[in-house]
């Protein structure tokens, strides 16, 4: 593991003072790292939701769908693919046909397109 010396820190500070581009570059790098961290966190959350949502046998995209309330289903929609959303929408329309849920599914399909 590399360690930063006092001289290197001073040199970086001097470079920053002389070259505002260095500051901009450092800011951009920090922003990129933050974006990567945010994406990683979102991916981990998506994986967790998929793991707790998708049935083990790969059939319907949301396990125990018929027993779930609208709010429970809605929280799982963002983890689904466009194709899975269409399957859920078709099934919902044929069964309970809850308009608010159908609208939420349709919005997510449009957002994915």
Q: Domain check: are 59 and 113 in the same one?
A: yes
Are 36 and 21 found together in one domain? yes
Number of domains in the chain: 2
Number of residues that this document lists for the chain: 113
Q: How many CB atoms sit inside 10 A of residue 26's CB?
A: 13
Check residue 70 and give its pLDDT: 95
pLDDT bracket for residue 66 (50, 70, 90): very high
Residue 68 CB contacts under 8 Å (≥ 6 apart), including other chains: 62
Question: What pLDDT does 42 receive?
Answer: 75
Question: Are residues 34 and 70 located together in one domain of the fold?
Answer: no
Q: Does residue 56 surpass a pLDDT of 70?
A: no
Range of the domain at 91: 54-113
pLDDT band (50, 70, 90) for residue 37? confident
Cα separation, 59 vs 50, in Å, equals: 13
């Amino acid at each position: 593991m590399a360690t930063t010396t006092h001289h290197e820190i001073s040199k970086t500070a001097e470079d920053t003072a002389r070259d505002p581009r260095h500051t901009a570059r450092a800011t951009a790098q920090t922003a990129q790292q933050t974006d990567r961290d945010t994406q990683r966190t979102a991916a981990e959350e998506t994986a967790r939701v998929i793991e707790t949502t998708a049935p083990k046998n790969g059939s319907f995209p949301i396990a125990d769908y018929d027993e779930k309330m609208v709010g429970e289903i809605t929280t799982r929609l963002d983890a689904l693919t466009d194709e899975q959303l269409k399957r859920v929408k078709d099934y919902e329309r044929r069964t309970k046909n809850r308009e608010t849920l159908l609208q939420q599914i349709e919005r997510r399909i449009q957002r994915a397109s």
